[in-house]
Structure 1
């Protein structure tokens, strides 16, 4: 039992590191990212333990980039995605997950605007959201394409890595 717990904890740490490094290395591209795809896949694979990965990732982001207003939105944004994925976890369509990932990219700016709504009112939230609409569109397209291309191979790899029978791929 302890050996299995150590194995799972090690895998969760590795998945968190991959999530963080994927975000850092793709940061030079405007809103082209693998975080949404990986959160989808991690939720399908790790189920409720995905929240350990999400909050460790958000904490790493805060240490790396600072704990600004954006950081508070990351505390709930990735959890919202995980909860939506958990609701639809029985779906096996790559196209469905690609559409969901794309929609999440499109909604990302609106979700990030919520702390500005609290801090500065509706005007601040609308200004924040509308100023980033072009980035949300590229985020949508990027998420859709990345998910469409990488979902199946990464899902198989994660099932093998995190699954009950890690001896065969």
Structure 2
């Protein structure tokens, strides 16, 4: 393994830890999270390598919170988001990414109904989704606000980190 691949793997490990810690430390805020934004940015910067980061994150969540049906949802919901992000990767508008992030927040509960569809049928899946809409709305709003504020600075920081192009400080 060459030094560049090792460096990238270390950066990806640290960033995966950051997304996990961000999720844990923001857990007291109801449905306000940084995970969506970070996985959008990680997808834009790392491309398909983001899936390693997603699955390590999901595994860490299972270890930390316990493995339940919700955990199965996380195995695919973040992948769906990353695929959509990858398909839209040429977009430069912060507003576009904020709207997409908000859409993801409002549709999160619907995406999580898939296992319930197989367990309890369409009526059970629909009931699960409807019972969570009140949580999906603040999730949507939180995602939009977080993305509007942090998208540009975090993307710039990530790109500099990956490229190693941090400006050297000027010494007097």
TM-score class normalised by the smaller sequence: over 0.9
Q: Does 2:26 match 1:21?
A: no
Q: Partner of 1:149 in structure 2?
A: 149
The structural deviation recorded for 1:166 is 3.1
Q: For residues 92-131 of structure 1, what are the structure 2 equivalents within 5 Å? A: 92-131=92-131
Residue correspondences, number: 168
Q: Deviation per CA, 1:4-63, whole angstroms, max 9, x where unpaired?
A: 111011001001000000000011111000000000000000111100100000000011
Q: Deviation per CA, 1:123-167, whole angstroms, max 9, x where unpaired?
A: 21111111110110000000000000000000000000112x434
Q: Deviation per CA, 1:87-128, whole angstroms, max 9, x where unpaired?
A: 010000000000000000000000011111111111211111
Gaps of 5+ in 2: none
Instruction: Give the 4+ runs in structure 1 shifted more than 6 A.
Output: none
The CA distance in 2 between the partners of 1:74 and 1:9, in whole Å, is 22
Q: Partner of 2:82 in structure 1?
A: 82
Gaps of 5+ in 1: none
Pairwise CA RMSD: 1.1
Secondary structure at the counterpart of residue 138 of structure 2: helix
The CA distance in 1 between the partners of 2:135 and 2:86, in whole Å, is 27
Larger Rg: 2
Question: With structure 1 as the length reference, what TM-score do the two structures score?
Answer: 0.96
Secondary structure at the counterpart of residue 30 of structure 1: coil
The CA distance in 1 between the partners of 2:153 and 2:134, in whole Å, is 30
Question: With structure 2 as the length reference, what TM-score do the two structures score?
Answer: 0.95
Secondary structure at the counterpart of residue 132 of structure 1: helix
